Copies of this chain bind each other. A is one copy, B any other.
Amino acid sequence: MNYFSSDFKLGILGGGQLGKMLLTETRKFDIQTYVLDPSDEAPCKIGSNKFFKGSLMDFDTVYNFGKQVDVLTFEIELVNIEALEKLESEGIKVYPSPKTLRLIQNKGTQKDFYTTHNIPTAAYKRFENVAGLKQAVADNEITLPFVWKSTEGGYDGNGVKVIRNTDSFNNLPDVQCIAETMIPFKNELAVIVTRTPSGEIKTYPVVEMEFHPEANQVEYVICPARIDDAVADNARAIALKVSEHFNHVGLLAVEMFQTEDDQILVNEVAPRPHNSGHYSIEASYTSQFEQHLRAILDLPLGNTDSKVAGIMVNLVGEEGYSGSVVYENIEKILGQDGVTPHIYGKKETRPFRKMGHVTIVNQDIAEARRVAQEVKNTIRVIC
Is the CB of A285 closer than 8 A to any CB of chain B?
A: yes
**Do B27 and A20 touch (CB < 8 A)?**
yes
Residues of B contacting A285 in the complex (Cβ-Cβ under 8 angstroms): 337-338, 361
**Do B46 and A27 touch (CB < 8 A)?**
yes
In the complex, A357→B29 CA distance in Å?
11
**Do B307 and A28 touch (CB < 8 A)?**
no
With A20-B27, A24-B27, A285-B338 as known contacts, state yes or no: A331 contacts B47, CB within 8 Å. no
User: Across the two chains, which residue of chain B brings its CB closest to A300?
Assistant: B335
**Do B5 and A338 touch (CB < 8 A)?**
no
A177 to chain B, nearest CB (A): 37
Is the CB of A347 closer than 8 A to any CB of chain B?
A: yes
Residues of B contacting A24 in the complex (Cβ-Cβ under 8 angstroms): 24, 27-28
User: Across the two chains, which residue of chain B brings its CB closest to A344?
Assistant: B30
In the complex, A345→B3 CA distance in Å?
12
Is the CB of A302 closer than 8 A to any CB of chain B?
A: yes
Residues of B contacting A4 in the complex (Cβ-Cβ under 8 angstroms): 327, 330, 341, 343
In the complex, A331→B198 CA distance in Å?
14
**Do B345 and A5 touch (CB < 8 A)?**
yes
A345 interface neighbour in B30, B300, B326, Cβ under 8 Å: B30
Kindly identify, within residues 26 to 45 of chain A, every residue whose CB is under 8 Å from any CB belonging to chain B: 27-30
**Do B303 and A334 touch (CB < 8 A)?**
no
What is the interface residue range for chain A against chain B? 35 or more
A326 interface neighbour in B2, B325, B337, B346, Cβ under 8 Å: B2
Is the CB of A134 closer than 8 A to any CB of chain B?
A: no
Q: Interface of chain A, helix or strand or loop or mixed?
A: loop
Is the CB of A376 closer than 8 A to any CB of chain B?
A: no
A61 to chain B, nearest CB (A): 23
A85 to chain B, nearest CB (A): 29
Residues of B contacting A345 in the complex (Cβ-Cβ under 8 angstroms): 5, 27, 30
Is the CB of A119 closer than 8 A to any CB of chain B?
A: no
**Do A343 and B294 touch (CB < 8 A)?**
no
Kindly identify, within residues 334 to 361 of chain A, every residue whose CB is under 8 Å from any CB belonging to chain B: 334-335, 337-347, 361
Q: Mark A302-329, 1 if CB is under 8 A from B, else 0.
A: 1100011000000000000000011100
The 7 A-B residue pairs with the shortest CB-CB distance in the complex, in nearest-first order: A300-B335, A30-B343, A30-B345, A307-B307, A303-B337, A300-B334, A4-B343
Binding site for B on A (CB under 8 A): 2, 4-6, 20, 24, 27-30, 46-49, 285, 290, 294, 299-300, 302-303, 307-308, 325-327, 330-331, 334-335, 337-347, 361
